[in-house]
Amino acid sequence: MGVSNILEFKDKALLEKAKKQEIWYFILDPQTGCPYVHDGMTDLFASQAILEKTIKGDKIRYQKRMIVKEYSPKNRTATFGMGIFAYFYYLGLEKIKVFYDDAFGVLNRADFLPPRDYSALEPAKVPVENPSLRLLLNEFLGEARWEKQYEGKLEYLQKKEKELFDAIKSARFLVPMKLSEEDPDEMAFAKAANNGKNYLPLFTDWLEMGKGYEKGEWKGAVVTVTEALEIAGEDELVINFTCEAMVVTKDVLKRTGVIDG
């Protein structure tokens, strides 16, 4: 059996094993509130003991303070009521490194749950989802908010910032809003407040908006970041205050080329 065939056989065997696994452990990055990302992927562990052993044995990759979460089909609180691979879809986590006592390897999330197909829907009816943007948020903020300095960090952040704001420029967001009872043509948009400042809350998907606003009580206006600035007026924007909580100012949008200076 050739080397490539051996690798393919091992990957297939690992995938079949992982498909039967019901309980998983993963790590949250406190800097983002999302599963920890490294090298464009996230990790799943078959037991907490394997997780702790892996972290202890790799002091370079796992230097941050981290929070351990347990997932099972009967306990989905860590994934907000969703199956773990559906949850990872929203976060753009398409490469997953799985760890067992006797094996580890990188698998595709799509091998567990196929990507959603909206090709039959009209563009206006496609749900607001931004998985690639969420991955960029996680990667950028995870490093930017980490106090550790290391060689190449600035270059990495500059690269990720450009990718992130290129994605923000073309993204569709949700803004919570209510229709006026007096005038159905009038809309009242939500405001988020922190330390005496008001922000217009933007959400990358319904999952995040649902954490802060009841769906039956609030509707979601679909906007671009430019339209959001018009609604916000003098207020700043905050993306996913229920998770990543990234504040976006006009100055930053100008500097990154999202809007004209």
How many other C-beta atoms are found inside a 10 Å radius of the C-beta of residue 243? 22
pLDDT at 9: 54
pTM exceeds 0.95: no
Alpha carbon distance 40, 96 (integer Å): 9
**Residue 154, helix vs strand vs coil:** helix
Closest CA to 140 of 247, 253, 257, 32: 32
Using CA atoms, how far apart are residues 205 and 90, in angstroms rounded to an integer? 8
pLDDT tens, per residue, the chain with 261 residues: 444 554 455 688 999 999 999 999 999 999 999 999 999 999 999 999 999 999 999 988 899 999 999 999 999 999 999 999 999 999 999 999 999 998 999 999 999 999 889 999 998 889 999 999 999 999 999 999 999 999 999 999 999 999 999 999 999 999 999 987 777 777 889 999 999 999 999 999 999 999 999 988 899 999 999 999 999 999 999 999 999 999 999 999 999 999 987
DSSP annotation string for 186-246: -EEE--EEETTEEEEEEBSSHHHHHHHS-TTT-EEEEE-HHHHHHHHTTSEEEE-TTTT-E
Cβ distance 257 to 165 under 8 Å? yes
Domains delineated in the chain? 3-111 (3.40.1350), 123-255 (no CATH)
